[in-house]
Structure 1
Amino acid sequence: MQWNQNYSALNGSLLLTALVVAIPIFFLFWALAVKRMKGHVAGPVTLLITVAISVLVYRMPVSAALSASALGMVTGLFPIGWIILTAVFLFNLTVESGQFEIIKSSISSLSPDRRIQALLIAFSFSAFMEGVAGQGAPVAVAAAMLIGLGFPALPAAVICLVANTPPVPFGPVGVPTMMMSTVTGIPATTMARAVGIDMAFMALIIPFFLVVVMVGFRRAKEVIPACLVAGVSYAAASFAISTWFGPELPAIVASVVSLLCLVIFLRFWQPSVTWTFPEDTAASHAAASGTYSAGQIFKAWSPFLILMVVMGIWGTPAFKAYCTKAHHWFVMVPSWPWLNGVVFKSAPIVAKPALYGANYRWDWLIAPGTAMFISSLISMAVLGIGPATGTRVFLKTFRQLRFALVTLASVIGLGFLANYSGMSFTLGLAFAQLTGMAFPIFSPIIGLVGVFLTGSVTSSAALFGKLQQVTAMHLGMNPVLTTSANLFGGVMGKLISPQSIAVACAAVGLVGKETDIFRKTLKYSMILLCMVIVLVLLQAFVIPAVLPTAPAAL
Structure 2
Amino acid sequence: MYQQIYDPIGGSLLLSSALAALPLLVMFLLLGWLRVAPHIAALISLAVCMLVAVLAYGMPLAATLNLGLYGAAFGVLTVLWIIVNAIWLYNMTVKSGHFAVLRDSFARISPDPRIQAIIIAFSFGALIEALAGSGTPIAISGAMLLGIGVRPMKAVVLALVANTAPVAFGALAVPIVTLAKVSGEPFGLLGAIVGRQTPLLAAFVPLILMFIFDGKRGLRQVWPAAVVAGVAFAVSQWIAANYISVELADVFGALGSAGGLLLFLKVWTPEPCGDIEDVEPAPANVERHGGGALWLAYAPYVLIIVVFSLAQVAGIKQWLGFGTFRFAWPGLEIANAAGAPVATQFVLNALSATGTLLLFAGVLSALLLRVRPGVAVEIYGATLKQLRWAIPTVLCVLALAFVMNYSGQTITLGRWMAQTGSAFAFLSPVIGWLGVAVTGSDNSSNALFGALQVAAAQETGMRPALLAAANASGGVLGKMISPQSLAVGAAAVGVIGQEGIIFRKTIGWSLLLLLALSVLVYLQAGPLAWMLP
| TM-score above 0.5 | yes
Rounded Cα–Cα distance in structure 1 between residues aligned with 2:38 and 2:254: 31
Q: Does 1:500 align with 2:485?
A: yes
Tell me if the contact between 2:151 and 2:279 (Cα under 8 Å) persists in the aligned partners. no
Tell me which residue corresponds to 2:380. 394
Change (3 A) 1:141 1:542: same
Correspondent of 1:344 among 335, 352, 366: 335
Rounded Cα–Cα distance in structure 2 between residues aligned with 1:110 and 1:378: 27
Correspondent of 1:418 among 393, 401, 404: 404
Tell me which residue corresponds to 1:431. 417
Tell me which residue corresponds to 1:514. 499
Tell me which residue corresponds to 1:217. 216
Letter of the 1:18 counterpart: S
Tell me if the contact between 1:447 and 1:461 (Cα under 8 Å) persists in the aligned partners. yes
- 1:282-323 per-residue CA deviation (whole Å, 9 max, x = no partner) reads 5x34352x6211221111111111111111111234432333
Tell me if the contact between 1:472 and 1:482 (Cα under 8 Å) persists in the aligned partners. yes
Rounded Cα–Cα distance in structure 2 between residues aligned with 1:150 and 1:503: 20
Letter of the 1:314 counterpart: A
Q: Does 1:296 align with 2:293?
A: yes
Change (3 A) 1:275 1:473: farther
Tell me if the contact between 1:314 and 1:368 (Cα under 8 Å) persists in the aligned partners. no
Tell me which residue corresponds to 2:195. 196
- 1:463-515 per-residue CA deviation (whole Å, 9 max, x = no partner) reads 11111110011100001221111112111111211111111111111100011
The unaligned stretches of length 5 or more in structure 2 are none
Larger mean CA deviation between 219-228 and 123-132 belongs to 219-228
Rounded Cα–Cα distance in structure 2 between residues aligned with 1:291 and 1:174: 38
Change (3 A) 1:426 1:393: same
Q: Alpha-carbon deviation of 1:240?
A: 1.3
Tell me which residue corresponds to 2:266. 267
Letter of the 1:337 counterpart: P
- 1:174-211 per-residue CA deviation (whole Å, 9 max, x = no partner) reads 11111111110111111100011112212211111211
Q: Does 1:544 align with 2:529?
A: yes
Tell me if the contact between 1:444 and 1:486 (Cα under 8 Å) persists in the aligned partners. yes
Q: Does 1:531 align with 2:525?
A: no
SS in 2 for 1:235: helix
Alignment of 1:54-93 (within 5 A): 54-93=53-92
SS in 1 for 2:18: helix
Letter of the 1:88 counterpart: I
Q: Alpha-carbon deviation of 1:261?
A: 2.6
Tell me which residue corresponds to 1:552. none
Rounded Cα–Cα distance in structure 2 between residues aligned with 1:280 and 1:231: 23
Q: Does 1:335 align with 2:335?
A: no
Change (3 A) 1:83 1:280: closer
Change (3 A) 1:488 1:267: same
Change (3 A) 1:217 1:483: farther
Q: Alpha-carbon deviation of 1:361?
A: 1.5
Letter of the 2:295 counterpart: F
Letter of the 2:59 counterpart: M
Letter of the 1:475 counterpart: T
- 1:321-340 per-residue CA deviation (whole Å, 9 max, x = no partner) reads 3333x3xx1233x221111x
- 1:248-300 per-residue CA deviation (whole Å, 9 max, x = no partner) reads 11112221232233223323321022354246565x34352x62112211111
Letter of the 2:401 counterpart: G
Tell me which residue corresponds to 2:246. 247
Rounded Cα–Cα distance in structure 2 between residues aligned with 1:193 and 1:287: 47
Rounded Cα–Cα distance in structure 2 between residues aligned with 1:416 and 1:186: 26
Q: Does 1:452 align with 2:437?
A: yes
Tell me if the contact between 1:94 and 1:300 (Cα under 8 Å) persists in the aligned partners. yes
Q: Alpha-carbon deviation of 1:118?
A: 0.9
Letter of the 1:343 counterpart: I
Tell me if the contact between 2:138 and 2:489 (Cα under 8 Å) persists in the aligned partners. yes
SS in 1 for 2:197: helix
Rounded Cα–Cα distance in structure 2 between residues aligned with 1:467 and 1:318: 36
Q: Does 1:180 align with 2:183?
A: no
- Give the paired residue count: 533
Change (3 A) 1:275 1:372: farther
SS in 2 for 1:76: helix
SS in 2 for 1:380: helix
SS in 2 for 1:384: coil
SS in 1 for 2:347: strand
- Identical pairs, percent: 37
Letter of the 1:374 counterpart: F
Q: Alpha-carbon deviation of 1:393?
A: 0.5
Rounded Cα–Cα distance in structure 2 between residues aligned with 1:57 and 1:111: 58
Rounded Cα–Cα distance in structure 1 between residues aligned with 2:216 and 2:475: 26
Letter of the 1:376 counterpart: G
Correspondent of 1:359 among 321, 332, 345: 345
- 1:59-95 per-residue CA deviation (whole Å, 9 max, x = no partner) reads 1122221122111111111022111111111111100
- 1:94-115 per-residue CA deviation (whole Å, 9 max, x = no partner) reads 0010001101100011112121
Correspondent of 2:394 among 389, 404, 408: 408
SS in 2 for 1:177: helix
Q: Alpha-carbon deviation of 1:215?
A: 1.5
**What TM-score results when the alignment is normalised by the length of structure 2?**
0.97
Alignment of 1:110-189 (within 5 A): 110-189=109-188
SS in 2 for 1:173: helix
Change (3 A) 1:280 1:164: closer
